[in-house]
Amino acid sequence: MKALQPLIRSTELFAEAKELIPGGVNSPVRAFRGVNRDPIFIDHADGAFIYDVDGNRYIDYIGSWGPLILGHNHPEVYKAVLAASAKGLSFGAATEGEVLMARLMTSLVPSLEMVRMVNSGTEAAMSALRAARGFTRRDKIVKFAGCYHGHSDALLVKAGSGLLSGGMPDSAGVPVACTADTLVASFNDIDSVEQLFAQHPKQIAAVIVEPVAANMGVVLPDDGFLEGLREICSAEGALLIFDEVITGFRLGLAGAQGYYGVQPDLTAFGKIIGGGMPVGAYGGRREVMELIAPSGPVYQAGTLSGNPVAMAAGLCQLQFLQDHPEVYDHINHLGNMLFTGLTEISSRAGAPCSVNHIGSLGSLFFTNEKVGDFKTARTADTGQYARYFAHLIERGIYQAPSQFEALFVSYAHTEAEIHKTLEIVEDFFRIPL
Ligand code: KE4
């Protein structure tokens, strides 16, 4: 086992970064606070591997939190970005690439009659909710404890006491008024949703859900949960919004909605559709999307929305996925190997662990509980996870620096990386917890 080079350059950069950037990072989870250690700084990546600024190589199971489904630096995506950037980086005007992207996405996702490009998953979820409120002329929204839909004010809400209260802001700087219309239900608990509709008849514009939750760790929908949400929304005149920023094009070309056969009214996308560039999108029923400016009264805009270089990267990646269905066979096979291996190793060791996974997406929780919602996810021992994280990263395995995130396998991973990873995991579980 090649020991890592000391993290000298990462340490220097982090010290300087903390002077200039809040917490030294441009997104909180990158600060590694969830695992009580300083972050590594990345120099470059290629295929299934990421390299830090001190020359250490890691097997990468983050893949930029999902976008790099083909692995880093895919030659075709790289060529597409170079070709597009040679023509100009941004015009703030309509381009053919946006039409091609809209055509491709609406051809692959049956519920998508129209789509609007934005620059992040946050913008996509925020804008989809605005469209739903504009269409229904209702103000309240339902989200689920533990589901994350980006950092727009109305969605930064933790479950109030009980599950039926109006949301309390999860962040300083968010006025209570911005979250007063955000109601919080419990994932996999249809009754908690029905109670909200009973308490707020004809006031709820939309229910927004990650069809496979991946921000409390990975939590799968129980049989009938998504179908139940569909029925309730249809009966109550509310819109069902699937936040497929992670699951979109990850679980298959039609995402979770295709996998589970439940059709939302609107969908939020991000990550994979950008091929690693900043891209989000939202779309769905034509009668809803035609309310979006300039065709209707719901305003939403963005200087870099549909950026030609980002469209080139996203188009190339989506077209590759469409032309190579074997990508899904490959990542699902490796995902199955990895997550079955994690289950077997931890149970052989008698460790208090449980694993949730679907295809190439999954999480190992340090809890004996079956993790089916936010409450059970929170029983996980984050101290144990931090020790597990340290053992793996110090041996060249790079995974989420938080118990409440997901592992992602890419098309660039091979069985060799999975075997190597499982060897190191087995080594960890030999140490008494
Ligand atoms: P962005 O604004 O970060 O592009 O997307 C927000 C978002 C929306 N919906 C879902 C289901 C998401 O998972 C995300 C963002 N995911 C996190 C990782 N769990 C991004 C990592 C980060 O915040 O740095």
Q: For 172-205, how does the pLDDT look when each residue is reduced to its tens digit (9 = 90+)? A: 899 999 999 999 999 999 999 999 999 999 999 9
Count of CB atoms situated within 10 Å of the CB of 42: 16
Share of the chain above pLDDT 90, in %: 95
What pLDDT does residue 170 have? 84
pLDDT at residue number 160 = 28
DSSP assignment of 310-376: HHHHHHHHHHHHHH-THHHHHHHHHHHHHHHHHHHHHHHTT-S-EEEEETTEEEEESSSS---SHHH
User: Tokens 């692995």 sit at which residue?
Assistant: 71
239-255 pLDDT, tens digit per residue, is: 999 999 999 999 999 99
What pLDDT was estimated at residue 159?
Answer: 40
Ligand 1 centroid–CA 405 distance in Å is 10
Which pLDDT does position 171 carry in this prediction?
87
Residue identifier of the C-alpha nearest atom 17 of ligand 1: 65
State pLDDT tens for residues 37-69: 999 999 999 999 999 999 999 999 999 999 999
Which fold does the domain 8-61+325-430 belong to in CATH? Aspartate Aminotransferase, domain 1 (3.90.1150)
Give the residue extent of every domain in the chain.
Answer: 8-61+325-430, 75-323
Cis bond before residue 294 (omega within 30° of 0): yes
Q: What is the pLDDT of residue 1?
A: 58
In this prediction the pTM is 0.97
* pLDDT digits 0-9 by tens, 79-122: 999 999 999 999 999 999 999 999 999 999 999 999 999 999 99
Phi, psi of 72 (to 5 degrees): -75, 145
* pLDDT (mean) for 128-154: 96
Q: Is 363 in the pocket of ligand 1 (CB under 6 A)?
A: no
pLDDT one-digit tens code per residue, 11-37: 999 999 999 999 999 999 999 999 999
Compute, in angstroms, the gap from residue 252 CA to the centroid of ligand 1.
19
The answer to whether the CB of 178 falls within 8 A of the CB of 166 is no
Q: Whose CA is nearest to atom 21 of ligand 1?
A: 65
Q: Write the pLDDT tens digit of every residue in 149-166.
A: 999 999 998 642 333 335
Pocket test for ligand 1, best of 27, 65, 405 (most atoms within 8 A of CB): 65
Give, using CA atoms, the residue closest to atom 13 of ligand 1: 246
* Ligand 1 close to Cβ of residue 244 (< 6 A): no
CB of residue 242 inside a 6 A radius of ligand 1: no
Ligand 1: distance of its center to the CA of 149 in Å?
7
Residue nearest to atom 8 of ligand 1 (CA): 149
The residue to mutate among 122, 156, 157, 218, having the most atoms of ligand 1 within 8 angstroms of its beta carbon, is 122
* Residue nearest ligand 1's atom 1 by CA: 121
**Does residue 373's CB lie within 6 angstroms of at least one atom of ligand 1?**
no
- Average pLDDT over every residue of 334-342: 98
Q: DSSP labels for 103-167? A: HHHHHH-TT-SEEEEESSHHHHHHHHHHHHHHHHT--EEEEETT----S-GGG-EE--SSSSSBP
Query: Residues 123-141: what's their mean pLDDT?
Result: 98
pLDDT of res. 164 = 32
Residue with tokens 């110090």: 394
The pLDDT, as a whole number, for residue 167 is 59
Residue 381 identity:
D
Q: How far apart are CA 324 and CA 329, in angstroms?
A: 10
Catalytic center residues: 148, 243, 271
Could you identify the atom of ligand 1 that is nearest to the CA of residue 147? 11
Query: Selecting from 3.10.129.10, 1.20.1250.20, 3.30.360.10, 3.40.640.10, what CATH number does the domain 75-323 have?
Result: 3.40.640.10
CA of 87 to the centre of ligand 1 (A): 30
Mean pLDDT of the residues in the chain: 95
- Ligand 1 neighbour 148 (Cβ under 6 A): yes
Closest CA to 210 of 161, 174, 260: 260
Report phi then psi at 183, rounded to 5: -100, 145
pLDDT at 254 (0 to 100): 97
Span 396-411, average pLDDT? 96
**Percentage, residues of the chain above pLDDT 70:** 97
Express each pLDDT in 357-366 by its tens digit: 999 999 999 9
Indicate which atom in ligand 1 lies nearest the CA of residue 280.
4
**52: three-class secondary structure by DSSP:** strand
What pLDDT, on the 0 to 100 scale, is given for residue 365? 97
